[in-house]
Structure 1
Amino acid sequence: MRLLRIFNKKVKFSSIRYYSVVRQGFEYVNEDDVNYFKSVLGERNVITDEEELAIVNTDWLKTMKGSSGVLLQPSCPSEVSKVLSYCNSRRLAVVPQGGNTGLVGGSVPIFDEIVLSTKRLNKILSLDPVTGILSCESGCILEALDNKAAEYDLMMPLDLGAKGSCHIGGNVATNAGGIRLLRYGNLHGSILGLEAVLANGERLDMMTTNKKDNTGYDLKHLFVGSEGTLGIITKVAVQCAQRPNSFHVAFLGLESFENVLKTVQSAKQSLNEILSSCEFMDDESMECVTKNLGLRLPIQRHPFYMLLETSGSSSYHDEEKLNDFLEKSFNSGVILDGTLTGEPSKIKDMWALRERIAEGLLRDGYCYKYDVSVPLSKFYDLVTDMRERLGSSVVRCCGYGHLGDGNLHLNLTGEIFDPDVFALIEPYVYERVGDWKGSISAEHGLGYKKRNYIHLSKSQSAISLMQQLKSLLDPNGILNPYKVLPSFK
């Protein structure tokens, strides 16, 4: 029996919405397969109900949709191993899924691939208060891990707007960046060890907690950012950071992007070791959250805004450095307006203006989202360029992002998805980024939406080696097919 479901007819299937892709020669799930999965996972953890499947077949943005007829919910790595071994022998394609908060179509099926959820892999295994190393299973929610770390005056080195629902395994699989990468670096530096289950069911144990381990190839880095195409991450060991005693946030208004760049440079010089975030928003972004979500700006309207966060061990010391920096910036005319706070409730309100932009954009209708890294000298050029190119064919064109590490989020909205508008955006946006030697994906990954543009950021020799690694670790190609690597022509 072939299991196939159709969901939400308002959303076209992913296989035809962005570009046509042909289903590969995988087998279809039948009743014998379902019965085997039930014997391993228990009947209640093999889901075939249409309503439940509709959720895991659709991405957070409601722009991607698959037609999977089976959702599997293993509770331990050994169950993941048994499932993958079976699927590999049967050539059944599998999509690993955590919190399903991705933005590039990496966590949902393109056709009828089996969805394997990690939500029941949610055990915290250990937390060493001396070293600050936390070991856990991959289905743990990021915010829950941070709350656990807080009990020991520690914090997770990663902070995202989706922290209340995203899974640490998904964070690692996509090498998620977040708002404090400037201070704590990316996950390649924070992940000390991990366990992954390969396509053939083999459990690859790399769960070391040694900060220094110079013994052969560091294989865990293959899985950080691989988006579930090389193996399914089941455990991770994370180096937590010491939780600061004080936080301060400054919300600033500026007249020009030139002054934004001057502020970035002076903030890094003046605030140095206490600077934890340096965020940028244009006026169109702020107009979106104030109009669509009813949030209020703490200062007057300006063409550009910055949000600076400091964190350290001494509130007095940090506030003094911030005040000195702000006074010099105001006196020089670089900053026109601003407000500073150390009160937790006000800090939360200011961060909401930045973190809820993505939510506000969805209220416009359809959102074309782009996450790129570009030289700071070109950071805002892409936004102005696209405004001129698209004009009134879009509702909104705005730019915001992690200015401290050159990560721009370019967003364009329309009432509905328009193929003609889409054709004006892609591949033009990616080609412009490629011309500037930037990256077409700064932190969201490639997933399904960006995979055929990887050549604009990576050499052909590098892509060929990636394809060889994929063939070596997953010779039947069952793990998250149609993602990350380009289509064969």
Structure 2
Amino acid sequence: MLVKTFSVFSKNFIKYVPVRRLSSVPTFAKDYLQVKRGPYKTLDEQDVRFFRTLLEENSLIEDRCDLEKYNVDFLKHLRGCSPLVLRPRTVEQMSKILSYCNNNLLAVCPQGGNTGVCGGATPVFDEIIVSTEWLNSVIHLDETSGVLVCEAGCVLENLHNYLNDYDLMMPIDLGAKGSCQIGGNTSTNAGGIRLYRYGNLHGNILGLEAVKADGEIIDCMNTLKKDNTGFHLKHIFIGSEGCLGIVTKVAIQCHPKPKSIQLAFLGAQNFTKALKAFKTAKQELGEIISAVEVMDHETIKFMWEHTDTTSPIGDYPIYLIIETSGSNEEHDQDKLNKYFQKCMDKHFVLNGVVTSSPSKSEQIWGLRERVAENFYKDGYVFAYDISLPLENYYDIVTEMKEYLGEKSHRVFGFGHLGDGNLHIQISVQKFSTDIMNYIEQHLYKRVNELNGSISAEHGIGFLKKQYLPLVKSEANMNLMRSLKRVMDPNGILNPYKVV
């Protein structure tokens, strides 16, 4: 019998005793890898006076307590020592800030919603934090083409809500959408749960505006899908993590909001079976698939312990979330039900539910999207974001469990199966550089051997910088360094990050 919906999340497997929840003070980033401070000037009162004359009084943050949320990263693992946050309201103010900092050798840490997990938005020493949070206006929406023009500080969820009134949607959706900003999404080329359907931001951003380190405003704004006039300079800034310039405005291609959204939550015996279910989904649901996510049993166990929510279908080693988006609910529902039945008949999955209820879908997505926000409850969680060929996708989780043994109390994996992006988490009782090095030297070596990527969608930031040469050739590294020197000769933009 096909199950089309379900009532409530039932706690129908063994309740695990939560591990002891640890609290710890974030480590100062400057001490994390014993980084040496660059040859930058220290902020003084004369500098602060200049910024006060340039910006409104409440655009500066100097109070130590207020600075804390800007100095500490999303996972509460790193802490910077910035004495000042600047919040410009216009691109002209941004330009003058960077021009002054460049002329006076003041290092700058660009920051959006501060939801990154690689330390890319966290100051390492005493860099001035330049926040885009007040550059938050929607400038224009072309309802016919679906092109939205907005400032970099617009929160992703606010853009989703704005477009909802026009039956449009953003091409990107993240668990951190309630606080992440489109400028930060652009600067990290963020992926998210629907990249399988809509592609990454390199393909959806039609134009942007950015400010270089010397204050020069680069206008790459364009709302056309096709424009081959010269080098595509916008792509220099997409994914450059604020090291080449600060994005202040974007033009992004939005998509029609689907009239029919169906969701399947499936339980499988192992990853091999789940992979067969995914392959079948591509064959049976190809034109309407919008997301394919995977979670292992340990992830569900983690969610039970820290949020008291769990699987609606019981206890299985591997779970798949398959979402379809289309224009005909009866057609889409029929296809998804037939797909589910086929997977059951072939024993690719052992159980599952299918729903079109928004509230039930939200509950299922909550299992997946709320994982990261609860990491801090599980001791110290090393969170890694990698891409692997699908045949090796989950093997790395099993391998890391065996490799670590009793050195960790939890190793779990979930991710965007549709695009080969795996998030592997390793939870330990207490952070140490020894355990970090023990994990990363093996993990990244194996990822490289398997022809994977050490960063699928989170960037390099501060935490992965030392491993970038492992996966990039010397010629590639030299070219990136050369581009950095051309765009930011004094190295004031997000120093200690990426290259």
TM-score range for the pair, normalised by the shorter chain length: over 0.9
Give runs of aligned pairs for residues 307-456 of structure 1, distance below 5 A: 307-456=321-470
Unaligned residue ranges in structure 2 (runs of 5+):
1-22
**Aligned residue number for residue 87 of structure 2:** 73
Distance in 1, Cα, partners of 2:397 & 2:24: 33
Corresponding letter in the other structure for 1:320: D
Deviation at 1:85? 0.4
**Aligned residue number for residue 27 of structure 2:** 12
Distance in 1, Cα, partners of 2:404 & 2:293: 26
**Aligned residue number for residue 261 of structure 1:** 275
Q: Could you tell me whether the CA contact under 8 Å between 2:270 and 2:317 is conserved in 1?
A: yes
Corresponding letter in the other structure for 1:13: F
Q: Could you tell me whether the CA contact under 8 Å between 2:285 and 2:339 is conserved in 1?
A: yes
Q: Could you tell me whether the CA contact under 8 Å between 2:301 and 2:310 is conserved in 1?
A: no
**Aligned residue number for residue 110 of structure 1:** 124
Corresponding letter in the other structure for 1:206: C
Q: Could you tell me whether the CA contact under 8 Å between 2:209 and 2:218 is conserved in 1?
A: yes
Distance in 2, Cα, partners of 1:443 & 1:457: 15
**Aligned residue number for residue 78 of structure 2:** 64
1:29 to 43, 51, 60: 43
**Aligned residue number for residue 92 of structure 1:** 106
Distance in 2, Cα, partners of 1:269 & 1:362: 39
Deviation at 1:362? 2.5
**Aligned residue number for residue 5 of structure 1:** none
Tell me the secondary structure at the aligned position of residue 81 of structure 1: helix
Deviation at 1:12? 2.2
Deviation at 1:420? 3.0
1:232 to 233, 237, 246: 246
Corresponding letter in the other structure for 1:226: S
Instruction: Please give the per-residue CA displacement for 1:20-60, whole angstroms capped at 9, x wherever unaligned.
Output: 21000000000000000000012221111001111101001
The count of corresponding residues between Structure 1 and Structure 2 is: 477
Corresponding letter in the other structure for 2:323: E
Distance in 1, Cα, partners of 2:34 & 2:435: 18
Deviation at 1:305? 0.5
Q: Could you tell me whether the CA contact under 8 Å between 1:121 and 1:140 is conserved in 2?
A: yes
Distance in 1, Cα, partners of 2:441 & 2:233: 33
Give runs of aligned pairs for residues 168-179 of structure 1, distance below 5 A: 168-179=182-193
1:250 to 239, 264, 273: 264
Point out the more displaced range, 396-405 or 40-49. 40-49
Q: Could you tell me whether the CA contact under 8 Å between 2:289 and 2:324 is conserved in 1?
A: yes
Instruction: Please give the per-residue CA displacement for 1:126-145, whole angstroms capped at 9, x wherever unaligned.
Output: 00000000000000000111
Q: Could you tell me whether the CA contact under 8 Å between 2:76 and 2:376 is conserved in 1?
A: no
Instruction: Please give the per-residue CA displacement for 1:301-340, whole angstroms capped at 9, x wherever unaligned.
Output: 0111100000100110100110111111101111100000
Q: Could you tell me whether the CA contact under 8 Å between 1:390 and 1:421 is conserved in 2?
A: no
Per the normalisation by structure 2, the TM-score is 0.94
**What percent identity do the matched residue pairs reach?**
50
1:42 and 2:35 are equivalent in the alignment: no
Point out the more displaced range, 422-431 or 54-63. 422-431
Distance in 2, Cα, partners of 1:188 & 1:203: 20
Over aligned residues, Cα RMSD in angstroms? Answer: 1.1
Give runs of aligned pairs for residues 462-477 of structure 1, distance below 5 A: 462-477=476-491
Distance in 1, Cα, partners of 2:225 & 2:374: 41
Corresponding letter in the other structure for 1:279: E
**Aligned residue number for residue 161 of structure 2:** 147
Distance in 1, Cα, partners of 2:167 & 2:24: 48
Q: Could you tell me whether the CA contact under 8 Å between 1:440 and 1:456 is conserved in 2?
A: no
Corresponding letter in the other structure for 2:25: K
Tell me the secondary structure at the aligned position of residue 377 of structure 1: helix
Q: Could you tell me whether the CA contact under 8 Å between 1:141 and 1:163 is conserved in 2?
A: yes
Unaligned residue ranges in structure 1 (runs of 5+):
1-7
Q: Could you tell me whether the CA contact under 8 Å between 2:112 and 2:183 is conserved in 1?
A: yes
Tell me the secondary structure at the aligned position of residue 335 of structure 1: coil
Corresponding letter in the other structure for 1:475: P
Q: Could you tell me whether the CA contact under 8 Å between 1:407 and 1:442 is conserved in 2?
A: yes
Instruction: Please give the per-residue CA displacement for 1:215-265, whole angstroms capped at 9, x wherever unaligned.
Output: 110000010000000000000000001110011110000001110111111
Q: Could you tell me whether the CA contact under 8 Å between 2:139 and 2:151 is conserved in 1?
A: yes
Distance in 2, Cα, partners of 1:48 & 1:16: 23
Deviation at 1:291? 1.8
**Aligned residue number for residue 458 of structure 1:** 472
Deviation at 1:418? 3.0
Q: Which has the higher contact order (CA 8 A, sep 6+)?
A: 2
Tell me the secondary structure at the aligned position of residue 427 of structure 1: helix
Corresponding letter in the other structure for 1:437: N
1:297 and 2:311 are equivalent in the alignment: yes
Distance in 2, Cα, partners of 1:381 & 1:114: 42
Instruction: Please give the per-residue CA displacement for 1:382-418, whole angstroms capped at 9, x wherever unaligned.
Output: 1111100111221210011000000000001122213
Deviation at 1:61? 0.5
Q: Could you tell me whether the CA contact under 8 Å between 1:278 and 1:309 is conserved in 2?
A: yes
Q: Could you tell me whether the CA contact under 8 Å between 1:288 and 1:361 is conserved in 2?
A: no
**Aligned residue number for residue 13 of structure 2:** none
Deviation at 1:9? 8.6
Distance in 2, Cα, partners of 1:340 & 1:298: 11
Tell me the secondary structure at the aligned position of residue 157 of structure 2: helix
Distance in 1, Cα, partners of 2:56 & 2:48: 11
Deviation at 1:273? 1.0
Distance in 2, Cα, partners of 1:426 & 1:327: 41
**Aligned residue number for residue 187 of structure 1:** 201
Tell me the secondary structure at the aligned position of residue 401 of structure 2: helix
Deviation at 1:154? 0.5
**Aligned residue number for residue 235 of structure 2:** 221
Deviation at 1:457? 2.5
Corresponding letter in the other structure for 1:153: D
Tell me the secondary structure at the aligned position of residue 273 of structure 1: coil
Tell me the secondary structure at the aligned position of residue 426 of structure 1: helix
Deviation at 1:203? 0.3
